[in-house]
């Protein structure tokens, strides 16, 4: 390791920032948000502008945040990550001990990629995908009746669902003709039933996504869909595609039309730009569009190598988050896209951010002394303005906001009404919210008083294209990694999901015992047995 | 008014609860969650069981919470609300001065309803709807070609969108054959474009929902859809339905096939069971299913009249929320439905809760001294378990959780795998999460240690039917109202949304000025002008 793992609150600049946080910049003061401030507090890369004049900080804080990045070796760690350092580990304790190489999927445009082997593997899989998609396009690969495939069902959960689903929704305006994608994720049997109800299975491909080939929900749903194929007299082997680890139980040509590989060095929540997203998005949007996503992501990955936070929006966003969370004490962050296509993007970020940084142990194996990852939530604007924004403006809890917007629409089908287009109205509302939250408003009626000083960031790009989506995705991936580096936590494992699995199996054990009319494990685990009983779950069978 | 408006922290029991909160019940102690506790900490009504053994409280706290309800006259206020008291007001200041009568829509089953006039109006509208739906069913009302209508587009935003959308998704398993519903809400022009792309307009009804008949987003989207009808050579007057206030600008038979009325005494976020939800849900599910929603809501509304918190799940849920928020200091609450059909229910609750209780002023016009409404967020399980649950288990912020589950699936198409069905697995996971969050787990590896003592509630019903959905909706509506009564705030206005509207119009004014090559208002509002400039928004035209 070329970087240090000093704890966050032991970095030299920490106390300085604590002091500065006692008197944060007052956004409500007359002319506080001057044109100079607005134009000066801006960072740009990969087609995105990040405006942060409506944050509660001044030049002294910005300098402090730059020092925080420098002293924690944030960029050096990011580079080491790209080069294949084993970032996924806890010193002195059993841990995953893995490299973190999702950026390698995007280094395909670089002559000397940071990690040649991983980028080589990514290229191999892309080539395999290109061949597969070309076969679909020219009608070489068709169904039993010689018809083209029109639908694709993605079966996966967590990272194999949320990210791919968010990106598909974001870009479905660019779908190829007669290509639709559906998602089954939840072990809730109604999830599969509702999707199956509306499909012509004979013209459908089914992508099953699981690195280990053993995820409970995914295998259960795969089995449900296989049964539906059998009942329809169709051979799943002509329809099912495996996206899985090399030589996992799912890597089996007898059961799958094709296998595409995912690797241990890419965690689920960072896997959208690997084959996890590629096969589905390639089907829906075409191979070239997927490459554009990678290109946007790669451009943002490169900007994330900049030491100067004014030239590195991901690092700046990470530091603004730390300022609001650790120094100003705000527990949550709202991600508010002014784009209906980004409806599911906050749910992806919830996973990517909260599963990465919802940790209580440093990389040295010590209990952290302060706050780590915030609660991330959000819904699109302007919808949210007619809903929870009431609390953002006048509630007793301050919620830092990250607005995301685009200057042009995707479909470019708009209407001029009262002198402005809908897209004008959309962006005007976005900017108005940032300003209103910051400045507040005095009023004699206490119920119409706005305290202001509620911080936000505005992130803008020209249009939500595949390229921009790649950039936005990589921006947040890098933001999350930077925050983990600075907090000195391991953002790449997820031990917190294990206990629930163990207990769920115990409950299922009870049900099995009960159905065999036994009563053995009741005494061993009285709480879980009693919960099943109180839940009225025993009367069902 | 028959109830008092004492401030929350001046109620006699307040200090007692503050003291009790210093040593909250330790859920991690050996056998702390005993079978007796699990069976005893349960409240039931309208087909729902609320299990709260995994909350951090004991009998002393429960008694204190009962006193809190009693001393704040919570149930008396709820009854007064039902009877037509002007609950939507701020004493001594200009305010909406309205009654709050969403429950009257559900009192149609009662011989002497609490507010005869409002219930009478609800019945009138229902009768009109019944006639309309019967015409559709028997083919008396058809399109220009004599074909049945198969699709319905709901144009509305906020309360005219989130609640109806959530309930439609929740119950679409019960849709009538060849009836589908789509939603357009956002002023983002891509929202309308994406929906229009997939429709056969000739067989589509369009419901436009706006009480005032003047909501910017809704009128804009209506105009976009009207233009699409005109371009398709169809007469919107044969397809468009108005759901609006009596004699609003939209109440115009020349432009709409039918008008259904909404009333000032029902706020947008409480309007799902009025015509706002009724017309769309009646089209999709049939009239009888909608009446079942009302019946479930009414049964829960009646349970909400119970003084004893053990027999009033809505009041109990409100008090548990206050215990976690005001006394234990947790800023957020996660609503986690173990039902994919409830995917959008948390977004509805975000509006209903945060717009109602995100307030800083008491009903006496004073600044509140403590916390009011929490941040509400959530996504379905088991999906969330593979995403943000990491933070719930091991993060530095404690998030109280409200789990919602059902013993049976909707489609009842399930698969027995390894001895259990998917529905078994779903509910086993729900219960396991509640237990895991509460008990935690010791481990020598600090990264595999779970601190526990993370509180949750489990809400269970047999099956997500229209009746159960009505009950669940009313449960949360009543919970939110109870919390507002106890905090002594007005949960029924939304002054916090006004400032953003004013500023958005200012930004739009700049754009108009600019497009006419003028420069007049630049000096008047340098900040908003500079924000538009920094956002790169001027180069577009």
Rounded mean pLDDT, B340-352: 98
Predicted local distance difference test score (pLDDT) of residue B501: 87
Instruction: Choose the closest CB to B194 out of A173, A386, A511.
Output: A173
Selected catalytic residue, list B36, B386, B418, B540: B386
Cβ–Cβ < 8 Å for A326, A370? yes
Q: From chain A, pick out residues whose CB is under 8 angstroms from the CB of B369.
A: none
Q: Do A425 and B371 touch (CB under 8 A)?
A: no
B423 secondary structure, DSSP code: H
Q: From chain A, pick out residues whose CB is under 8 angstroms from the CB of B268.
A: 386
pLDDT tens profile A331-381: 999 999 999 999 999 999 999 999 999 999 999 999 999 999 999 999 999
Q: Which helix (H) or strand (E) holds A455?
A: none
Predicted local distance difference test score (pLDDT) of residue A422: 95
Give me the active site residues of A, please: 355, 386, 501
DSSP, collapsed to helix, strand or coil, labels residue A83 as helix
pLDDT tens profile B94-117: 999 999 999 999 999 999 999 999
Rounded mean pLDDT, B134-158: 97
Rounded mean pLDDT, B206-214: 95
Q: State how far the Cα of A210 lies from the Cα of A220, in Å rounded to an integer.
A: 12
Q: Which helix (H) or strand (E) holds B385?
A: none
Q: Which helix (H) or strand (E) holds B213?
A: none
The pLDDT of residue B22 is above 60: yes
pTM flag (> 0.95): yes
Q: Do A42 and B534 touch (CB under 8 A)?
A: yes
Q: State how far the Cα of A120 lies from the Cα of A108, in Å rounded to an integer.
A: 8
What does R_g of chain B's alpha carbons equal in angstroms?
Answer: 25
To the nearest whole Å, the CA of B71 is away from the closest chain A CA by: 23
Q: From chain A, pick out residues whose CB is under 8 angstroms from the CB of B163.
A: none
pLDDT tens profile B247-296: 999 999 999 999 999 999 999 999 999 999 999 999 999 999 999 999 99
Whose tokens are 């990210």? That residue is A163
Q: State how far the Cα of A119 lies from the Cα of A416, in Å rounded to an integer.
A: 47
Q: Do A415 and B224 touch (CB under 8 A)?
A: yes
Q: Do B360 and A394 touch (CB under 8 A)?
A: yes
Q: How many CB atoms lie within 10 A of CB B324?
A: 27
Which residues 476-495 of A have a C-beta within 8 angstroms of B?
Answer: 490, 493-495
Q: In the Cβ-directed half-sphere of A367, how many Cα atoms lie within 13 Å?
A: 7
Instruction: Choose the closest CB to B361 out of A268, A420, A446.
Output: A446
Q: Do B422 and A526 touch (CB under 8 A)?
A: no
Q: Nearest Cα to B460, choosing from B355, B283, B339, B359?
A: B339
Q: Do B187 and A422 touch (CB under 8 A)?
A: yes
Q: Which CA distances in Å does A265 have to A121, A305, A426?
A: 11, 20, 40
pLDDT tens profile A48-98: 999 999 999 999 999 999 999 999 999 999 999 999 999 999 999 999 999
Which residues 225-284 of B have a C-beta within 8 angstroms of A?
Answer: 227, 268-269
Q: Residue B177, exposed/middle/buried by CB under 10 A (0-12, 13-18, 19+)?
A: exposed
Q: State how far the Cα of B71 lies from the Cα of B7, in Å rounded to an integer.
A: 11
Predicted local distance difference test score (pLDDT) of residue B541: 40
Task: Mark whether B102 is an active-site residue.
Answer: no
The pLDDT of residue B538 is above 70: no
The pLDDT of residue A142 is above 60: yes
pLDDT tens profile B436-447: 999 999 999 999
| Least confident residue range of A65-74, A502-511, B331-340 | A502-511
pLDDT band at B212 (very low <50, low <70, confident <90, very high): very high
Highest mean pLDDT of the ranges A213-222, B11-20, B209-218: B11-20
Q: Which helix (H) or strand (E) holds B106?
A: none
Cβ–Cβ < 8 Å for B429, A396? no
Encoding tokens for residue A202?
């004979």
Q: What whole-number percentage of chain B has pLDDT above 70? A: 98
Cβ–Cβ < 8 Å for B102, B267? yes
pLDDT band at A454 (very low <50, low <70, confident <90, very high): very high
The pLDDT of residue A1 is above 60: no
B391 Cβ partners below 8 Å, 6+ apart? A354, A355, A357, A358, A373, A375, A496, B397, B399
Query: What is the biggest distance separating any 2 CA atoms in chain A, rounded to whole angstroms?
Result: 76
The four Cα atoms B478, B483, B486, B487 give a dihedral, to 10 degrees, of: -150
Q: Nearest Cα to A496, choosing from B362, B262, B447, B15?
A: B447
Q: State how far the Cα of A59 lies from the Cα of A53, in Å rounded to an integer.
A: 11
Q: State how far the Cα of A491 lies from the Cα of A476, in Å rounded to an integer.
A: 13
Predicted local distance difference test score (pLDDT) of residue B1: 55
Residue B214 or residue B341, greater confidence? B341
Task: Mark whether B42 is an active-site residue.
Answer: no
Q: State how far the Cα of A437 lies from the Cα of A24, in Å rounded to an integer.
A: 15
Rounded mean pLDDT, B492-519: 84
Q: From chain A, pick out residues whose CB is under 8 angstroms from the CB of B371.
A: 396-397
Q: How many CB atoms lie within 10 A of CB B210?
A: 27
Which residues 330-369 of A have a C-beta within 8 angstroms of B?
Answer: 331-332, 338-341, 347, 350-351, 354-361, 365-368
């Amino acid at each position: 390791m070329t970087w240090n793992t000093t704890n966050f609150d032991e970095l030299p600049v920490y106390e300085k920032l604590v002091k500065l946080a006692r008197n944060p910049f007052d956004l409500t003061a007359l002319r506080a948000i001057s044109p100079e401030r607005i134009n000066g507090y801006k960072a740009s890369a990969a087609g995105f502008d990040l405006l942060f004049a409506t944050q509660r900080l001044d030049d002294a804080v910005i300098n402090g945040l730059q020092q925080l990045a420098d002293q924690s070796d944030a960029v050096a760690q990011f580079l080491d990550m790209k080069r294949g350092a084993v970032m996924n580990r806890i010193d002195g304790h059993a841990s995953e001990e893995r490299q973190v190489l999702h950026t390698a999927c995007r280094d395909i445009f670089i002559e000397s990629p940071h990690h040649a082997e991983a980028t080589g593997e990514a290229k191999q899989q892309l080539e395999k995908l290109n061949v597969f998609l070309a076969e679909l396009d020219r009608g070489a690969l068709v169904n039993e009746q010689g018809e083209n495939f029109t639908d694709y069902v993605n079966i996966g959960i967590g990272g194999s669902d949320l990210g791919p689903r968010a990106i598909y929704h974001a870009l479905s305006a660019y779908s190829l003709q007669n290509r639709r994608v559906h998602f089954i994720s939840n072990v809730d049997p109604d999830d599969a039933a509702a999707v199956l109800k509306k499909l012509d299975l004979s013209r459908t491909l089914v992508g099953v996504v699981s690195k280990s080939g053993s995820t409970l929900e995914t295998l259960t749903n795969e089995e449900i869909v296989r049964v539906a194929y059998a009942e329809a007299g169709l051979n799943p082997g002509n329809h099912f595609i495996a996206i899985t680890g090399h030589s996992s139980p799912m890597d089996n040509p007898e059961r799958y039309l094709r296998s595409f590989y995912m690797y241990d060095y890419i965690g689920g929540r960072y896997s959208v730009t690997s084959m996890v997203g590629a096969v589905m998005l390639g089907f829906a949007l075409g191979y070239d569009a997927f490459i554009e996503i990678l290109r946007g992501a790669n451009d943002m990955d490169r900007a994330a190598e900049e030491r100067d936070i004014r030239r590195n929006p991901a690092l700046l966003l990470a530091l603004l988050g730390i300022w609001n969370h650790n120094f100003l004490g705000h527990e949550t962050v709202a991600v508010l896209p002014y784009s209906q296509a980004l409806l599911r993007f906050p749910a992806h970020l919830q996973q990517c951010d909260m599963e990465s940084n919802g940790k209580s142990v440093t990389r040295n194996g010590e209990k952290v002394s302060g706050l780590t990852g915030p609660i991330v939530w959000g819904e699109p604007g302007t919808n949210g303005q007619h809903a929870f924004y009431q609390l953002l403006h006048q509630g007793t809890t301050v919620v830092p906001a990250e607005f995301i917007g685009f200057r042009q629409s995707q479909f470019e089908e708009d209407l001029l009404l009262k002198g402005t287009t809908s897209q004008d109205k959309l962006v005007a509302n976005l900017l108005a919210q940032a300003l209103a939250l910051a400045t507040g408003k005095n009023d004699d009626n206490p119920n119409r008083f706005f305290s202001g000083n509620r911080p936000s960031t505005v992130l803008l790009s020209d249009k939500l294209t595949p390229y921009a989506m790649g950039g936005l995705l990589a921006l947040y991936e890098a933001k999350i990694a930077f925050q983990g580096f600075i907090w000195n936590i391991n953002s790449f494992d997820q031990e917190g999901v294990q206990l629930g699995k163990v207990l769920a199996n115990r409950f299922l054990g009870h049900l099995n015992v009960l159905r065999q009319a036994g009563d053995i494990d009741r005494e061993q685990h009285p709480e879980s047995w009693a919960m099943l009983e109180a839940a009225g779950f025993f009367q069902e069978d």
